[in-house]
Structure 1
């Protein structure tokens, strides 16, 4: 099948996820700068969650701009990926309320890690569903971005476990920066 309707569905789900994340930010206790400043952890986690969602949308949108055909494997693996990503509003609140907890941070990192692992499978499914699409085959030839993400998150887990748990959520942000830099690094 062609991918336009599927792309629109993913866009709508991501818009809902981002909306829910923003609605989960508590309002300040009063109208002062101090009350707003007390919510700094909520805003930091929201910012990272927004970047995670935007990165997913950006990668998905750029990739599907060259996709001609998809099959049930692409649909179901992407559906599983977006399901896991849909847990982000809950995990954003969980981390914001337990910012220095290794468990909260590790669950957030696991969500990010699972989405990337599933995307590796989705990439292979896309190549198989659209074998005649040379641009797609070249774009998905290597999975450097996903491998770099996985390695970065594992490093974040090690640092988070032994030293500073927020290193895990920071590693998600670093992984995204690496993903955005990969086209320049691999040239």
Structure 2
């Protein structure tokens, strides 16, 4: 199978995820600056989650530009990733309203963790579905960046039990790490 239907479906789901997140943003009922400033945590959680969804969309795009074929395992692994990504709007709304409460910050981290695990699984299944000369196998190598991300999410979840800001800081660090362009796949296209 070719990758075009999988890519189109995934792009549609990611667009819906972003749409749901923006629809969760509500304007203040009052018209003064203080009412607007009170919405800052909600807006920041939206921006942060938008960046995360953008990172996944970008990496997913690059992943399937290099993927030569799709099979049933890849389709299910992709749906697994989309499931976890689809939970981002829920945890975004919750953490935006309760950024200093332990459970919303932990839940946000758990969703990010399972998104990363699902992406790692998808990537692994794609690599294993191709031959030994498949360029992605060489490009990914030991996937140090992916493993560091998973470790940071786990550490962030654990730190959130002590202080929510430690967890949030680790989630931000992972996003920054992925915002730094990784040219490995682009060079192989």
TM-score scaled by length of structure 2: 0.89
Question: Aligned-pair distance for 1:173?
Answer: 2.2
Alignment correspondent of 1:118: 118
Q: Does 1:179 align with 2:172?
A: no
Structure 1 alignment gaps of length 5 or more: none
Question: Aligned-pair distance for 1:178?
Answer: 1.8
Q: Does 1:136 align with 2:154?
A: no
Aligned-pair Cα RMSD in Å: 1.8
Aligned residues: 183
Residue deviations 1:39-60 (CA, integer Å, cap 9, x gap)? 0010111111101100100110
Distance in structure 2 (CA, Å) of the matches to 1:155 and 1:128: 29
- Note closer, same or farther for the CA distance 1:133–1:20 as it changes in structure 2 (3 Å cut): farther
Residue deviations 1:126-152 (CA, integer Å, cap 9, x gap)? 012222653222123222121110121
Distance in structure 2 (CA, Å) of the matches to 1:73 and 1:141: 21
Q: Secondary structure at the match of 1:65?
A: helix
Q: Quick check: 140-149 or 20-29, which moved more?
A: 140-149
TM-score scaled by length of structure 1: 0.90
Runs of 4+ deviating beyond 6 Å? none
- Note closer, same or farther for the CA distance 1:149–1:182 as it changes in structure 2 (3 Å cut): farther
Structure 2 alignment gaps of length 5 or more: 184-189
Q: Quick check: 153-162 or 66-75, which moved more?
A: 153-162
Question: Aligned-pair distance for 1:104?
Answer: 0.8
